Structure 1
Amino acid sequence: MEFLVNIRIQWPADGDPEKYARIAEEERALAGKLAEAGHLIRMWRVPGRRENWGLWRAESPSELHEILSRLPVWPWMDITVHPLGWHPVDPAPEHSRPQVTLPH
């Protein structure tokens, strides 16, 4: 399954900037691993905000929750998840679409 995920970081105004820098570094390292594993497909930042939109892939909403809750910045994240389904007029090449097997 693919999910469009909006993440807003709500870092406390009095939060430690050094701690935030360490967490951001850990976050980037884990994001690279999640991309290699095929979970993080694309990521866009929202200019001027601590916010991003990402295209994520997971077997289920539960697996996505498990993945996102392992992110180092999890305690300060406000997340909105939109599950996505294939659309018949999608211009993406067929080979790039996730393969879904429906139960009989």
Structure 2
Amino acid sequence: MEFLVNIKLRWSENMDPNLKERVIREERAHAADLIKQGHLVRMWRVPCRFENWGIWRAKDATELHDIITGLPANPWMHDIVVHPLARHAVDPAPYHG
């Protein structure tokens, strides 16, 4: 099943710079693993904001919840919007469900 996910981040105002740098490194490494596993399909940054949109794959909403809440930056994610996606009859892209 595919999901369109919007994640907004808000770093703590007085966050230790070393902690922030570590979380960013861990987030990128974790994302690379999720890509290999087929969960993270596409990712776009929203210019000038700490926000992204992504296409994610999971067997169901519960698995997606576990994936997203397992991200290293999850404690700083202040707004997450999930849209489950269904195939459309005229979608030109091959389905990878």
TM-score (norm 2): 0.94
Query: How much does 1:76 deviate?
Result: 1.0
Query: How much does 1:18 deviate?
Result: 1.7
Matching of residue 98 in structure 1 with residue 70 in structure 2: no
Query: How much does 1:10 deviate?
Result: 1.2
> Following TM superposition, where does structure 1 have runs of at least 4 consecutive aligned residues deviating by more than 2 angstroms?
none
CA radius of gyration, larger in: 1
Matching of residue 7 in structure 1 with residue 10 in structure 2: no
Matching of residue 57 in structure 1 with residue 54 in structure 2: no
Task: Give the root-mean-square deviation of aligned CA atoms.
Answer: 0.9
Distance 1:15 1:63 in 2: 30
Query: How much does 1:32 deviate?
Result: 0.2
- For structure 1, the residue ranges without an aligned partner over 5 or more in a row are 100-104
TM-score (norm 1): 0.88
Amino acid at match of 1:98: H
Distance 2:17 2:51 in 1: 17
- For structure 2, the residue ranges without an aligned partner over 5 or more in a row are none
Q: Which region of structure 1 is more displaced relative to structure 2, 52-61 or 69-78?
A: 69-78
For 1:74, the equivalent position in structure 2 comes to 74
For 1:26, the equivalent position in structure 2 comes to 26
SS of the counterpart of 2:87?
Answer: coil
Query: How much does 1:98 deviate?
Result: 3.2
